[in-house]
């Protein structure tokens, strides 16, 4: 698999000089992101954007580690023949029009499979977005160049997505919003050769991956999948498509997947301890919490900190629906909190800090409250609602620095001036504190830590 993820030389068959075509996007991304030896291939051009363009694979001065194919589906079997004759063993087909479109496309994919078997080719795809390596910066994908430039950053989340355009859109949102750093993002499409099992097995020995996000419409090989997940030993967040009758029907026309029995699949995933997400936003939220909370342990007893009594009530309702409870504060915690509250108001969970802030000032209040809750053995985690503006962003680290080394999960729900939400989020997430713009998303993240 390493030649797919970390190639030293790449040929792209089907490059285009037209900026509106996918062949140009793949070419442009590699030109800008790949430091190895790069061979654009198309007999129509002598040069593309100043780089020499080769008429065919036979004319290349070496056998590339990886060939990326972006030609019409009907031409793919002949291109694979060229790859085989050149001795190329790793081929990524990003084009669509194969088994996902019906019998005619299935016949083309069968011919591709026959050529691959004859030459010993490993096929990634077809009908996929390709691969993005956050550690090396390699973008082997038709994703528009402006999406990832200045946004791709290395990290510890690996994504495996059985889709093409959806993977591109999902990754676009992750990058543009700065959700988390990326180890590798893999779109596997129809899985003619490379499957989620191959990639999970590869990640088993990858020390940089701390959490994995999976979107699957079916499992290619159940015993291999079980073994790979068991050996991985790191959290896996799964979004499973095709769990309803209508969804399963749609999956068959999307990536030619047989979604299988939904009830059996649910039991299988539960047995493996996979974390289930119900949409892509929830998957992103959970992955972010996992990498920010690395090593932290939590439970059902939650302390709520708010600047609004109503926010505390609504948060309590959400906790209850997710199987969590309000923590009973210890006598020592209550005594510590009394030092910052006015005499006319006693502290209780949920903690409305508004009166305390006016009485003792924000730095003293936050530091006292955080210290008391972190030391309270009856508190498993903390939910915090705060109002954000320029002043809060400026002082966020001063208020919350004590939480950076917390052994308990802390999640923040910022409200107020939307213009300051991202700057605030960047500050607190630098301390390992995930922040979400909706209360329900905060509580879902805390639910991760419930035993």
Regarding whether 232 and 183 lie in a shared domain, the answer is yes
Would you state the pLDDT for residue 245? 52
Residues 157 and 213 both lie in one domain: yes
Res 178: pLDDT: 83
Using the 3D structure, point to which of 264, 290, 316 is the last residue of a domain. 290
Residue 404 burial (CB count, 10 A): 13
> Pick from 265, 290, 315: which residue ends a domain?
290
| β-pair type (139-141, 211-216) | unpaired
Q: Is 337 found in the same domain as 194?
A: no
pLDDT at 241: 85
What pLDDT score does 256 carry? 46
- Give yes or no: residues 421 and 443 share one domain: yes
Burial class (CB in 10 A: 0-12, 13-18, 19+), 21: middle
Q: What is the per-residue pLDDT for 261?
A: 66
- The boundaries of the domain holding residue 271 are 2-290
What confidence tens digit (pLDDT) does each residue in 210-250 have? 999 999 999 989 999 999 999 999 999 999 986 555 544 55
One domain, residues 239 and 90:
yes
What's residue 251's pLDDT?
A: 46
Phi-psi region of 362 (alpha: psi -120 to 50; beta: other; left: phi over 0): alpha
**pLDDT at residue 252, as a whole number:** 45
Q: How far apart are CA 165 and CA 147, in angstroms?
A: 13
Same domain, 274 and 373: no
Same-domain status, 50 and 117:
yes
| 198 and 315, same domain (yes or no) | no
Examine the domain organization and report whether 187 and 260 are in the same domain: yes
- The answer on 309 and 286 residing in a single domain is no
pTM (2 d.p.): 0.90
Q: What is the pLDDT along the chain (451 residues), one digit of tens a residue?
A: 999 999 999 999 999 999 999 999 999 999 999 999 999 999 999 999 999 999 999 999 999 999 999 999 999 999 999 999 999 999 999 999 999 999 999 999 999 999 999 999 999 999 999 999 999 999 999 987 777 888 899 999 999 999 766 667 777 788 888 889 999 999 999 999 999 999 999 999 999 999 999 999 999 899 999 999 999 999 999 999 865 555 445 544 444 444 456 778 888 999 999 999 999 999 999 999 999 998 787 889 999 999 888 999 999 999 999 999 999 999 999 999 999 999 999 899 999 999 999 999 988 999 999 999 999 999 999 999 999 988 888 888 888 888 888 889 999 999 988 889 999 999 999 999 999 999 999 999 999 887 5
CA atoms in the 13 A half-sphere facing the CB of 391: 5
Q: Residues 373-391: pLDDT tens digits? A: 999 999 999 999 999 988 8
* Boundary (domain end) residue, out of 238, 264, 290: 290
Question: Do 85 and 118 have their domain in common?
Answer: yes
Could you tell me if 284 and 364 lie in one domain? no
Question: Which domain CATH number covers 303?
Answer: 3.40.50.261
Domain count, the chain: 2
């Amino acid at each position: 698999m390493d030649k797919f993820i970390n190639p030293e030389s790449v040929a792209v068959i089907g490059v285009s000089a037209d900026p509106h075509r996918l062949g140009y996007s793949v070419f442009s991304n590699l030109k800008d992101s790949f430091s190895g030896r790069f061979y654009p291939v198309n007999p129509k051009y002598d040069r593309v954007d100043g780089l020499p363009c080769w008429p065919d694979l036979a004319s290349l001065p070496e056998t590339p580690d990886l060939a990326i194919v972006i030609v019409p589906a009907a031409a793919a079997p002949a291109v694979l023949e060229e790859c085989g004759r050149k001795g190329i063993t790793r081929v990524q087909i990003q084009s669509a029009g194969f088994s996902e479109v019906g019998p005619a496309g299935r016949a083309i994919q069968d011919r591709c499979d026959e050529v691959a078997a004859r030459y010993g080719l490993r096929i990634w795809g077809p009908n996929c977005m390709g691969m993005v390596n956050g550690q090396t910066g390699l973008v082997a994908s038709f994703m528009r160049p402006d999406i990832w430039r200045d946004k791709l950053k290395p990290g510890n989340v690996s994504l495996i997505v059985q889709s093409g355009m959806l993977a591109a859109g999902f990754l676009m949102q992750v990058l543009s919003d700065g959700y988390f750093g990326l180890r590798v993002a893999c779109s596997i499409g129809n899985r003619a050769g490379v499957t989620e099992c191959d990639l999970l097995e590869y990640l088993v020995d990858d020390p940089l991956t701390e959490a994995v996000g999976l979107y699957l419409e079916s499992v290619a090989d159940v015993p291999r999948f079980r073994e790979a997940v068991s050996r991985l030993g790191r959290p896996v967040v799964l979004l499973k498509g095709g769990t309803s009758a209508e969804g399963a029907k749609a999956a068959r026309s999307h990536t030619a997947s047989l979604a299988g029995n939904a009830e059996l699949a649910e039991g299988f995933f539960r047995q493996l301890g996979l974390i289930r997400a119900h949409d892509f936003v929830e998957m992103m939220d959970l992955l972010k919490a996992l990498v920010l909370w690395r090593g932290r342990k939590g439970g059902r007893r939650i302390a709520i900190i708010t600047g609004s009594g109503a926010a505390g009530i609504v948060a309590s309702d959400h906790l209850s629906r997710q199987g969590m409870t309000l923590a009973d504060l210890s006598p020592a915690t209550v005594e510590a909190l009394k030092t910052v509250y006015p005499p006319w108001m006693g502290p209780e969970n949920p903690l409305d800090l508004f009166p305390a802030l006016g009485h003792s000032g924000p730095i003293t209040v936050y530091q006292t409250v955080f210290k008391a809750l972190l030391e309270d053995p009856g508190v498993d985690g903390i939910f915090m609602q705060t109002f954000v503006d320029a002043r809060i962003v400026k002082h966020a680290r001063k208020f919350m620095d004590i939480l950076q080394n917390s052994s308990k999960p802390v999640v923040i729900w910022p409200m107020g001036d939307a213009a300051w939400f991202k700057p605030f989020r960047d500050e607190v997430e630098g301390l390992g504190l995930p922040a979400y713009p909706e209360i329900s998303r905060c509580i879902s993240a805390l639910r991760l830590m419930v035993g």
